[in-house]
A and B are shown apart, each in its own frame.
Chain A
Amino acid sequence: SQQGEEDPQALSIQEGENATMNCSYKTSINNLQWYRQNSGRGLVHLILIRSNEREKHSGRLRVTLDTSKKSSSLLITASRAADTASYFCATDAGETSGSRLTFGEGTQLTVNP
């Protein structure tokens, strides 16, 4: 069963705007990861944030993690048409679960040129 829930399910913005996607989860985690998937393709890892971290940056990406609320957000700044894709959060509960990833249902982001 899916642990994560992404919000919104779909997001449409104009090029240059910022896009924010949220993820909530239910159990304790070791880390939380964000992945991107273009239509019909495999997943590309974007960023990993550990349970003892609160914020992380990578290029135009900013991820926050609030373990007390069991939630995370992904911010993409200055979006581009090429950012159009599905974005998934995935939680890693650690070695007790073999570090398998539990994915949410994803947010479909459309960036209009």
Chain B
Amino acid sequence: DTGVSQDPRHKITKRGQNVTFRCDPISEHNRLYWYRQTLGQGPEFLTYFQNEAQLEKSRLLSDRFSAERPKGSFSTLEIQRTEQGDSAMYLCASSPSSGEDEQYFGPGTRLTVT
């Protein structure tokens, strides 16, 4: 399967713990995006990368959140000191190049903070 993959698919953690998610985009795709989706809502943009450079971060991305794409391939999203409000589906998407392209989404990581 050459689609976007995310790992893990589900994560249950206790409040205050750190979690890390991984996204493997479609190879050759330069752009990688992270979105967050809460129940009954549409996805909301968090951040995106052009190759290894993180070019924009949403105000939703507090200082407890950090994302990396060290070699311009896979990306990680880390949440430190998780809070119950962080419970959501975290979606990763990739696209071939800048602009005017559809984004290909992964299956998402469902985070539950207890």
How many residues belonging to A are interface residues under a CB distance threshold of 8 Å? 29
Instruction: Give the interface segment out of B66-74, B77-85, B106-114.
Output: B106-114
The answer to whether residues A98 and B56 also contact, given A45-B102, A48-B102 and a CB cut-off of 8 A, is yes
A-B contact count (CB 8 A): 71
Q: Mark A76-90, 1 if CB is under 8 A from B, else 0.
A: 000000000000101
List the A residue with the shortest CB-CB distance to B97: A99
A16 CB within 8 Å of chain B: no
Whether a CB of chain A sits under 8 angstroms from the CB of B44 is yes
| Contact B48 A41, beta carbon cutoff 8 Å | no
Size bracket of the B interface: 20 to 34
Contacts A42-B91, A42-B105 known; A30 to B42 CB distance under 8 Å? no
A88 and B43 CA atoms in complex are apart in Å by 9
- Are B55 and A98 in contact, with the CB atoms below 8 A? yes
B105 engages A30 (CB within 8 Å):
no
Cβ–Cβ contact A105 & B42, under 8 A: yes
Q: A43-B43, A88-B42 are contacts. A101–B103 as well, Cβ < 8 Å?
A: yes
A4→B44 CA distance, assembly (Å)? 11
**Of B95, B99, B104, B106, which is in contact with the most chain A CB atoms at under 10 Å from its CB?**
B99
Please give the residue numbers on chain B whose beta carbons come within 8 Å of chain A beta carbons, in ascending order.
4, 31, 33, 35, 40-45, 48, 50, 55-56, 89, 91, 93, 95, 98-108, 110
By Cβ-Cβ distance, the 9 closest A-B pairs, closest first, are A103-B42, A43-B105, A42-B107, A42-B105, A45-B102, A100-B45, A99-B99, A95-B99, A103-B43
A-B pairs with beta carbons under 8 Å apart, 12 shown:
A30-B99, A35-B105, A40-B89, A41-B107, A41-B108, A43-B93, A48-B102, A92-B99, A98-B56, A101-B45, A102-B45, A104-B42
